[in-house]
Amino acid sequence: MADEIRIEDIAQYEGQDVTLKGWLYNSTGKGRLQFLQVRDGTGIVQAVAFKPDLDEALFEAIKRLGQESSLIMTGSVRQDERAPGIPGGYEVGIKSLQVLQDVEEYPITPKDHGVEFLMENRHLWIRSSQQWAILRVRAAVKRAIVDWLDDNGFLNVDTPIITPSAAEGTSTLFEVDFFDDTAYLAQTGQLYNEANIMAFGRVYCFGPTFRAEKSKTRRHLAEFWMVEPEIAFCDLEQLMEIEEQFVSYLVQTTLQKCRHELELLGRDTSALERIKPPFPRISYDEAIQRLQATCEKADDPEQQELLRIEWGEDFGAPHETELARQFDRPVFVFGYPTQVKAFYMEPWPGRPEICKSVDLLAPEGYGEIIGGSERMSDPQVLVDAIHKHELPLEHYRWYVDLRRYGSVPHSGFGLGLERTAAWICGIHHIRETSPFPRTLKYMYP
Ligand code: 4AD
Ligand code: MG
């Protein structure tokens, strides 16, 4: 009996007979030879059908087998430098093959399809090797996130998805009917994390997050995954140190674990190898000066228009891209104007017009991957901010309590899984990092 194996482990079985269960990815023939690219979910291997070795009817059936036909085959593993595949370098000489289902016309062929068509067929598209690689990278990043936090003293505490109030502005809330009461899908778990740190010290939540942004950019999803660490007795400076350790670990670990996937995606990994602490830190004031200087020097009037910005405005994608371009690793921008940030951020001492916020901008145009801040720790300052943002105080009474019973300086951040995965993969659109993305345009399948 041949061992049933996974393609990712094939190197361990050189010279042996093995059984593989999978699907036909591609097939080409030449005379008495038929080359099948077979995938099993863990990789792709070249399987060779040689006519003289096989029953005539079986060889003919193999020749006609359609893309994505399901099959079980047994054959001998041999090393061959030239054999394509993931990991590649090995070939299976087919001895027997059972067709579970012969597929006639698989809708996604190796030719170019438009993105509309592919999104409509997302349930099938995820089998394509690029999509497969991206979703494996996503899983590796997710795993690295949890590993680093668990190993660094953070307790995973889950926060609710059905919430009574806003935390990141009222304009991006998805409303839900909650037993005749109005509720919203969580924009963040942060406020609950702030309660949790007073019980556990360092915590994180990691789960689906919802934003009803009517945004069509390549960086926005309506449903995405956010990891949110929160730390008691931590100021803005300490927060940045944690973030740079964390992000460096995510990148380096994924580089190690997903070598084949990144190669398949054609990712230039040298840019990722540089991602190590410390990351540069610039103030919002300096960022504005840098942008205005670049804007002045720009030859192209269109580019100039895109980069134009005044102190007090939030950055758009072109600003973030330009700022990140000026550094060789992710860059922290701290001290944003209070008016462009959420209500809970600690005011800057002596400069109430800015707050102790920090965003981390990824290189290569991927924009903000982390938003974070030191939180207000004084109850009266917080109550004033809630009023100023015209939020209903009765919804935040518990949140103010946290500042009345053992308040401490504390900070935290949120990192978007899809943006981080898109950056590491080096792909254009964030939607491909989600198995079934939800955007302004797509809710099917
Ligand atoms: O900057 P944001 O809105 O911060 C918060 O929600 C804070 N409460 C986090 C915290 O301090 N605990 O979002 C944080 C990150 C962004 O930097 C981005 O990576 C991701 O979440 N993100 C999105 N990703 C995809 N689509 C969207 N619409 C996103 N909005 C935010
Ligand atoms: Mg943000």
How would you write the pLDDT of the chain (445 residues) with one tens digit per residue? 789 999 999 999 999 999 999 999 999 999 999 999 999 999 999 999 999 999 999 999 999 999 999 999 999 999 999 999 999 999 999 999 999 999 999 999 878 899 999 999 999 999 999 999 999 999 999 999 999 999 999 999 999 999 998 889 888 999 999 999 999 999 999 999 999 999 999 999 999 999 998 888 999 999 999 999 999 999 999 999 999 999 999 999 999 999 999 999 999 999 999 999 999 999 999 999 999 999 999 999 998 999 999 999 999 999 999 999 999 999 999 999 999 999 999 999 999 999 999 999 999 999 999 999 999 999 999 999 999 999 999 999 999 999 999 999 999 999 999 999 999 999 999 999 999 999 999 999 9
CA of 89 to the centre of ligand 2 (A): 44
Q: Which fold has domain 122-280+327-433?
A: BirA Bifunctional Protein; domain 2 (3.30.930)
Residue 215's pLDDT is what? 87
Q: Is the CB of 374 under 6 A from ligand 1?
A: no
**CA–CA gap between residue 141 and residue 415 (Å, rounded):** 11
**CA–CA gap between residue 220 and residue 431 (Å, rounded):** 8
CB 7 within 8 A of CB 20: yes
The residues placing their C-beta within 5 Å of ligand 2, an ion, are 371
Query: What is the SS3 assignment for 307-352?
Result: HCCCCCCCCCHHHHHHHHHCCCCCEEEECCEHHHCCCCECEECCEE
CATH architecture of the domain formed by 3-101: Beta Barrel (2.40)
Q: Which atom of ligand 1 is nearest to the CA of 359?
A: 17
Residue 411's pLDDT is what? 98
- Counting ligands in written order, which one lies closest to the CA of residue 166? 1
CA of 416 to the centre of ligand 1 (A): 6
What is the separation of C-alpha 410 from the centre of its chain, rounded to a whole number of angstroms? 26
**CA–CA gap between residue 234 and residue 337 (Å, rounded):** 21
Residue 112's pLDDT is what? 84
| Substitution candidate for ligand 1 out of 170, 192, 357, 419 with most atoms within 8 A of CB | 419
CA of 167 to the centre of ligand 2 (A): 12
All structural domains of the chain with their residue ranges: 3-101, 122-280+327-433
* CA distance to 12, 15, 309, per residue, from 90 (Å): 11, 10, 55
Mapped onto helix, strand or coil, the DSSP state of residue 289 is helix
What is the separation of C-alpha 369 from the centre of its chain, rounded to a whole number of angstroms? 9
